[in-house]
Amino acid sequence: MALTKHSSRRRGRAVLRFDRTALLILPLIAFIALFYLTPVFSMLLRSLESGEGWSLSAFRAVLSDGAFWRVMQITMTISLITTVLCLLLGYPLAYFIARTRTSVANILLLLVLMPFWTSILVRTYAWMVLLGRRGVINDTLVNIGLLERPMQLLNTRTAVYIAMVHVLLPFVVLPLYATLKSFDWRLVDAAKGLGAGPFASFRQVTLPLSMPGVAAGAVLVFTLSIGFYITPALVGGPRDMMIAQLIETQVRGFNWNIAAAMAVVVLAAVLVICALFARIVALNPLMRR
Amino acid sequence: MQRAGITEVTGKRAGAAIKFEGIHKRYGSSVAIERLDLDVQQGEFISLLGPSGSGKSTLLMMLAGFEQVSGGRILIDDCDVTLLPPERRGIGMVFQNYALFPHMTVAENIGFSLRQTRTSKAVIRDKVSKMLDLVQLSGFENRYPQQLSGGQQQRVAIARAVVFDPPVLLMDEPLSALDKQLREAMQLEIKSLHERLGITFIYVTHDQREALVMSDRVALLNDGKIEQIGSPRDLYDRPCSRFAASFIGEANFLGVEVVGAAAAGYYDVRMFDRTFTARGGDGSRRGPAQCVLRPEKIHLTAASDALDATGGQLEGTVTSALFLGESLRYSVEVDGCSLTVSQPHRSGTQTLAPGELARLHWAVDDFLLVV
């Protein structure tokens, strides 16, 4: 998201000058304006409402609320760790898929995409079945004698990470796969020919050149994580409340302006993080081209 | 594997001798290279020339270590490198599309190999700037490859491949991406670089002119085998086969019947119901064969002109005449057989028109019997 902004701005100029096909994106712009910008704007208005006219009282209440900051911190921590886990697990997989034979690669890509065809709710329930006190994992471990009593798996932070990584993994694998698939592997040959061993050539050539894919995947996973609701609510414990749940409790209590103010703060935080990220990535000479 | 390189960049370094022993390479059931032996001398500039699929690139990749051999040995200075990974062979390589690291500056690209061996920053800077001098790119150290022209990228690739004093430089069709003029200029530059560095160059190309211009020796590959190896002159003047004659330069092929040996190395052959003398290898041959006559070695005159009688001659009818600027190109039909003749365009040269009778004349040594 933050990545395409950078390049599309340059390309956009050329498109407007030379190409009337740019008109074809007008329907999409209209759609986004109607169904995305309008609600965001109305939310912004809500957050400024109070009993008697316009005020910043909702923001004041939210920003001075210790619970809000605690939940914000939990949300950021969970999102960051989920992102890192997804990258660590997804990079080797994407690398392997990009380098293996097409027939194998197609099967693996299918498997990566498979979770997308199941509803997130169903997948979360599946994890509840697996991780529960009398769930498949605990039962098996107790039966083969590794555990004396079932252990607490469900309603822990670990369960949140497992379930979220499971849901979000395709979002890093796909952009990374796309980057690595179009990667010029002769550069690795060149590096080896110049005396760099397998690890050195990965660190100095493959990894830096796949950073656009890493960045795209990381931004996707991170922003999606921040908005997670069902998964932490069902498999997490009481200490794993994420911001979406907090907003939901405000909505349920009809504190619309508080809920809206929270949403605005989160949106602003996400935008700032994406902007910082785009800046870091833009420093990469590859993206400056 | 880091060699004790001579620090002076422009100084002469010792090249390595390279030996391919009984190399073969299979991909599944198809054979890419078949029991190939090749000795490359120290400091030699050798070209591997051949059509695509002849195995020339595969041979180079096996020497560099990017491809495994299916059998045989590769020796660099009598040291068996067959099983060494590429990063431990210490060979410089220029790739077809240069393979410059797009995320590194020119200086970082050139210094890449030195950074792998914990060379001090000062030494790296020094060597890189000497290299930039050598390839005439001083002042470009902080550019990125994509900001350079094709020719400049080419020079960076060469500098990067020789900065660590390798005893051998491999080049895989390095000029194929450049336009004709630049290609010709780069050919001369690479040749002079070879003279200055004194290391062994192995150059893969499908362009026969390139191979002829630059090399000390040319190995002509066909179907995974060495068809012929020798100096550019040898290959052009004494092709050993129909393939060699047609791949390097142009050739008219004439079906002949060998009827007997003439003087040593010469044969009597019959064609068009007449007997001619042709030059061939040693040994005694009999029966049907092919003779090669290169278009520019035929002298063409009007049939009515008198001619001294050494060498061979035939009469025919001009069927087409093309003016190519530096030369005139004729098709002449002799007894139902069409020959191409090329004549230099000089003032005073007689021009023949289609339909005219012409006499073709050649020196005995230019009429070659091939297999």
Residues of B in contact with A191 (CB under 8 A): 101, 112
pLDDT of B64 reads 95
Q: Which residues does chain A have within 8 Å of residue B85's beta carbon, measured at their own beta carbons?
A: 192, 197
For residue A86, is it within any domain? yes
What gap in Å lies between CA A228 and CA A213, rounded to an integer?
Answer: 23
pLDDT, mean of residues B237-259: 87
The pLDDT value recorded for residue A38 is 94
Is residue A52 very low, low, confident or very high in pLDDT (cuts 50, 70, 90)?
confident
Judge: B93–A284 Cβ closer than 8 Å, yes or no.
no
Q: Which of A282, A184, A196 minimizes the C-alpha distance to B145? A: A184
Distance CA A44, CA B186 (A): 64
Residue among B85, B87, B99 whose CB faces A184 most closely: B99
Read off the pLDDT of each residue in B61-79 and give the average, rounded to a whole number: 93
pLDDT at A244: 94
Per-residue model confidence (pLDDT) at position A53: 81
Structure tokens at B352: 């023949």
Does A209 contact B103 at a Cβ distance shorter than 8 Å? Answer: yes
Q: What is the mean pLDDT of residues A249-255?
A: 91
Which residues of A are less than 8 Å from B66 in CB distance?
189, 192-193
Work out the average pLDDT over B341-370: 85
Least confident of A153-167, B8-22, B343-357: B8-22
pLDDT of residue B7: 36
B32-50, pLDDT tens digit by residue? 998 999 999 999 999 999 9
pTM over 0.90: no
* Helix pair B106-115, B150-162: axis angle to 10 deg: 20
Which residue in chain B is spatially nearest to A205 when comparing CA positions?
A: B101
**B101 touches A at CB < 8 Å:** yes
What are A85's strand-pairing partners?
Answer: none
Domain-located, residue A11 = no
The ipTM estimated for the assembled molecules is 0.81
- Minimal-distance CA residue of chain A relative to B161: A194
Q: What is the pLDDT of residue A283?
A: 61
A209 interaction partners in chain B (CB closer than 8 Å)? 101-103
Q: Is the pLDDT of residue A15 over 70?
A: no
* A193/B64 Cβ within 8 A: yes
CB-CB under 8 Å, B92 with A204: no
* Shortest Cα–Cα distance, B30 to chain A (Å): 19
Specify if A198 maps to a domain: yes
Structure-block tokens of residue A39: 């609600």
Nearest to A194 among B97, B105, B113 (CB): B113
CA–CA dist B360, B338 (Å, integer): 12
Specify the range with the lowest mean pLDDT, choosing from B72-76, B158-162, B264-268: B264-268
Q: How much of chain B exceeds pLDDT 70, in percent?
A: 94
State the pLDDT at residue B73.
94
Q: Crossing angle for the helix pair A66-99 and A243-252, nearest 10 degrees?
A: 130
Band of residue A9 on the pLDDT scale cut at 50, 70, 90? very low
Q: Which residues pair with B235 in a beta bridge?
A: none
**Residue A81 distance to chain B (closest CA, Å):** 28
Region A193-207: mean pLDDT is 94
Give the gap in angstroms from C-alpha A180 to the nearest C-alpha of chain B.
15
| pLDDT tens-digit series, residues B165-199 | 999 999 999 998 888 888 888 999 999 999 999 99
| Distance, CA of A64 to CA of A56 (rounded, Å) | 12
Query: How far is it, in rounded angstroms, from Cα B277 to Cα B256?
Result: 11
What are the C-alpha distances in Å from B139 to residues B105, B113, B267, B277?
12, 21, 62, 62
Whether A51 is in a domain gets the answer yes
Query: What is the pLDDT at residue B123?
Result: 94
Residue A283: give its domain's CATH number. 1.10.3720.10
Residue A74 corresponds to which tokens in the numbers above? 């939990």
State in Å, rounded, how far the first CA of chain B is from the last one: 45
Cα(B141)–Cα(B129) distance, integer angstroms? 8
Q: Does A22 reside within a domain?
A: no
The pLDDT tens digits of the residues spanning B150-165 come to 899 999 999 999 999 9
Confidence of residue A8 (pLDDT cuts 50, 70, 90): very low
* CB-CB under 8 Å, B116 with A192: no
Give the span between the Cα atoms of A170 and A160, in whole angstroms: 17
The domain total for chain A is: 1
Q: Which of A187, A189, A195 sits opposite B117 (nearest CB)?
A: A195
Q: Is the pLDDT of residue A120 over 90?
A: no
Which of B84, B116, B169 to probe the A interface (max A CBs under 10 A)?
B116
Would you say residue B332 has pLDDT above 80?
yes
pLDDT for B4 beyond 60: no
Dihedral of CA A231/A235/A236/A237: which sign?
Answer: positive
The whole-number pLDDT of residue B309 equals 65
Q: State residue A282's pLDDT score.
A: 66
Residues 207-226 of A with CB under 8 A from B: 208-209
Structural domain contains residue A38:
yes
Residues A231, A157: Cα–Cα separation, whole Å: 11
Please say if the pLDDT value at position A149 is more than 90. no
Residue A150, domain extent: 31-288
Of A125-139, A243-257, B11-25, B50-64, the range with the lowest mean pLDDT is B11-25
Give residue A280's pLDDT.
77
Q: What is the DSSP string of A76-96?
A: HHHHHHHHHHHHHHHHHHHHH
Mean pLDDT of B74-103: 93
DSSP letters, B120-143, are: -HHHHHHHHHHHHHHTT-TT-TTS
Residue A116 falls within a domain, yes or no?
A: yes
CB B271 within 8 A of CB B256: yes
What pLDDT band is residue A247 in, cutting at 50, 70 and 90?
A: very high
How far, in Å, CA of A89 to CA of A77, rounded? 18
* Minimum CA–CA partner of B64 in chain A: A193
Residue B97: list chain A partners with CB under 8 A: 184, 186
- Average pLDDT in the A231-240 region? 91
Q: What is the pLDDT of residue A18?
A: 60
With CA atoms as reference, report the closest residue to B369 among B282, B301, B298.
B282
Candidates B95, B109, B131: best to mutate against A (most CBs of A within 10 A) is: B95
pLDDT at residue A289 greater than cutoff 70: no
Distance CA B189, CA B174 (A): 13
Q: How far is A80 from chain B (nearest CA, A)?
A: 27
Q: What's the pLDDT score for residue B348?
A: 74
Mean pLDDT across chain B, nearest whole number? 87
User: Among all residues of chain B, which has the CA nearest to that of A197?
Assistant: B87
Contacts of A204 in chain B (CB under 8 A): 112
Within-domain flag for A23? no
Instruction: Kindly calculate the radius of gyration of chain B based on its CA atoms and give it in whole angstroms.
Output: 25
Q: How far is B66 from chain A (nearest CA, A)?
A: 7
